[in-house]
Amino acid sequence: MLEALKDFGKFIGLEKSFENELKLTSADNIKCWNGLKFEESMSPHNKYNDVFHVDVIEENQNSFSFFVETEAPFEHFTERVIDYIRKKQDESGIRLISNGNILGAGIIGYYAMELKKLKEGDFTAKKLFEREMGSILSKFMFSAVLNVNKEVLDILFENEEVGFFYVIREGRVGEDQEKWYSLGRGLNRGFLDKLRGEDKII
């Protein structure tokens, strides 16, 4: 940008001494930017999107992680991982596998149960378990940026938070818009309506 200003200065015949006046520090740049007038993209004055504008970023945007209770086919897992899950199913008595699928409801139930056991125990054992389960859990998880505070999700997902993520139970998964999550589309309108019901969203 500075080179362009210098070239422009030479083009219109500015003296060399005046060219030096065009050198801006970072502080000068910030002052200039702060003084600029922008139109928000949704402003009625900018209905044709033909003026320079900036989108306003919502202050309460936060990233959250969700676990979806669904079934994931074996094809998404290595043989080693499937063997590990079979072993955990035998040890725990919790149904983790059915008809060539890994059961999300079983996986999250087993994970929560083991975390509870390890909570007061050896820190290293807990971290090792979380690492072992990490790649399995990731097959059922997604992240979303929402304009909502964590406290709202804590209320909405009462007793349905495990570790750092929220659990969307299988009864709330489906293609109907009143469901919270669609395997094809992601978060459904029903989930957002539920958040709006808390009077704390957007």
Examine the domain organization and report whether 13 and 81 are in the same domain: no
Q: Would residue 173 count as lying in a domain?
A: yes
Q: Would residue 51 count as lying in a domain?
A: no
Examine the domain organization and report whether 80 and 42 are in the same domain: no
Q: What is the pLDDT of residue 53?
A: 43
Q: How many helices (H) and strands (E) does the chain have?
A: 8, 9
> Which amino acid, one-letter code, is at 88?
K
Q: Would residue 53 count as lying in a domain?
A: no
- The length of the chain in residues reads 202
What is the C-alpha to C-alpha distance for residues 108 and 141, in angstroms, rounded to an integer? 11
Examine the domain organization and report whether 29 and 103 are in the same domain: no
Examine the domain organization and report whether 72 and 42 are in the same domain: no
Examine the domain organization and report whether 69 and 93 are in the same domain: yes
Q: Would residue 56 count as lying in a domain?
A: no
Examine the domain organization and report whether 42 and 89 are in the same domain: no
The stretches of the chain forming alpha helices (DSSP H) are: 2-11, 16-19, 26-35, 79-92, 104-118, 123-138, 150-156, 189-196
Digitized pLDDT (tens) for each residue of the chain, 202 residues in all: 445 545 544 544 544 444 444 444 555 545 544 554 444 445 555 454 444 444 444 456 889 999 999 999 999 999 999 999 999 999 999 999 999 999 999 999 999 999 888 877 778 888 889 998 999 999 999 999 888 888 889 998 988 999 889 999 999 999 888 899 999 888 888 888 888 775 444 4
Q: Would residue 55 count as lying in a domain?
A: no
Q: What is the pLDDT of residue 12?
A: 44
Examine the domain organization and report whether 72 and 112 are in the same domain: yes
Q: Would residue 202 count as lying in a domain?
A: no
Examine the domain organization and report whether 37 and 72 are in the same domain: no
Q: Are strands 71-73 and 101-103 parallel, antiparallel or unpaired?
A: antiparallel
For 60, 122, 128, 134, 182, the CA distances from 115, given in Å and listed in that order, are 30, 11, 11, 13, 28
Examine the domain organization and report whether 68 and 157 are in the same domain: yes
Digit-coded pLDDT (tens) for 126-138: 888 999 899 999 9
Examine the domain organization and report whether 73 and 118 are in the same domain: yes
Digit-coded pLDDT (tens) for 116-173: 888 777 788 888 899 989 999 999 999 998 888 888 899 989 889 998 899 999 999 9
Which residues, at least 6 apart from 51, have a Cβ–Cβ distance to it below 8 Å? 39, 45
Question: Given strand 165-168, what is the order of strands in its sheet?
Answer: 141-147, 61-68, 165-168, 161-162
Number of domains in the chain: 2
Q: What is the pLDDT of residue 90?
A: 97
Instruction: Find the domain containing 141 and state its range.
Output: 61-196
Q: What is the pLDDT of residue 14?
A: 44
Q: How many CB atoms lie within 10 A of CB 126?
A: 16
User: How is residue 132 written in tokens?
Assistant: 């072992």
Q: Would residue 54 count as lying in a domain?
A: no
